[in-house]
Amino acid sequence: MKTKTEFDKEKEKSAKMKALRRELEVELEEQLSATQLERDPSIEVLQIDANQELTPERAKQVVEALLFAASKPLTIAELRRVIRGFTPKQIEEFIAALKEEYLAQNRGFEILEIAGGYEMATKREFAPWVMRIELQKKVRQATQSALETLAILAYKQPITRAEIEALRGVDVSGVINTLMERGFVKIVGKKEVLGRPFLYGTSEKFLEHFGLNALKDLPSIEEIQTIVNQSIKREELLGTTQMVPNENAVPDAAATPGEAVGAEAPGEVASQSEDGAGQASATPATEEEQNREPE
């Protein structure tokens, strides 16, 4: 059995190792953050020295920016690792000053002390308006998810939930339950495989809602593809003008010197033939046609 002295030594050793590990973690975090910022081309960083000496007013602004950008409550220790040269008491004073400013200005948000840290949040009195925008977002997501699931089910039925999830790449159990509650989907049997999962299909309400007499009246995949392609022509979206000159293009022998093949004369309008080949129309474009935005 260990003596009290041995126990104290082990406890002290454990505390030292814990402190050393934490110190290494902090240093590693700083090094990784700097390396990531240097290597990631998608992150644009202003050339500002984060180690520069801050005035108290500037430090308070930094605390406000950190609380605003954080996705979770920040502790005083976490703030100190970013804002060096200030004591925990000073940082607490910055937060208290920000609270007083928000209260005096009657702002719609405040700083709360949560889980041992500080977090910027909207005031409770504005919860109904915040909930409205959140509900709108959830309704849009749910509607899109339901339509995607219903489309797969309509064309692939009878189909199991696992097969729908394999096509969508996400869990659809909640969506299927919602569609069943609203009467668009029903269980039509069980698949004769291991576990015998339910097979789902569309209901009569689905046909009624979408104005169909039978499932055979659903547009084919080819028809849908044609509709999508005709809704906006590729050449109208991308344009026919060559934006980047081709340096390797061989000039036409019949072209006049200094004139590249396919170059349009001033006032000419580029047209597209049915086979996709570009042709130049000799009809001069009016000023109204030249200034008209593509539809």
Residue 101 has pLDDT above 70, yes or no: yes
* pLDDT tens per residue across span 252-262: 444 444 444 44
Whether pLDDT at 62 is above 60: yes
pLDDT of residue 138: 60
pLDDT: which is higher, 119 or 264: 119
Work out the widest C-alpha separation in the chain, in whole angstroms.
Answer: 103
Quick one: average pLDDT of 166-175? 86
Backbone phi and psi for residue 24, each to the nearest 5 degrees, phi listed first: -65, -40
Name, of 2-6, 28-32, 110-114, the range with top average pLDDT: 110-114
Asked which of 87-96, 131-140, 235-244 is least confident by mean pLDDT, the reply is 235-244
Structure tokens, 210: 């979408």
pLDDT at 286: 47
38-47, 61-70, 108-117, 131-140: least confidently modelled range: 38-47
**What domains can you pick out in the chain, each with its CATH number?**
56-122 (1.10.10.10), 142-217 (1.10.10.10)
pLDDT digits (tens, 9 = 90+) for 270-287: 434 344 444 444 444 444
Q: Mean of the pLDDT values across residues 217-244?
A: 64
pLDDT at residue 14 greater than cutoff 50? yes
* pLDDT (0 to 100) of residue 40: 55
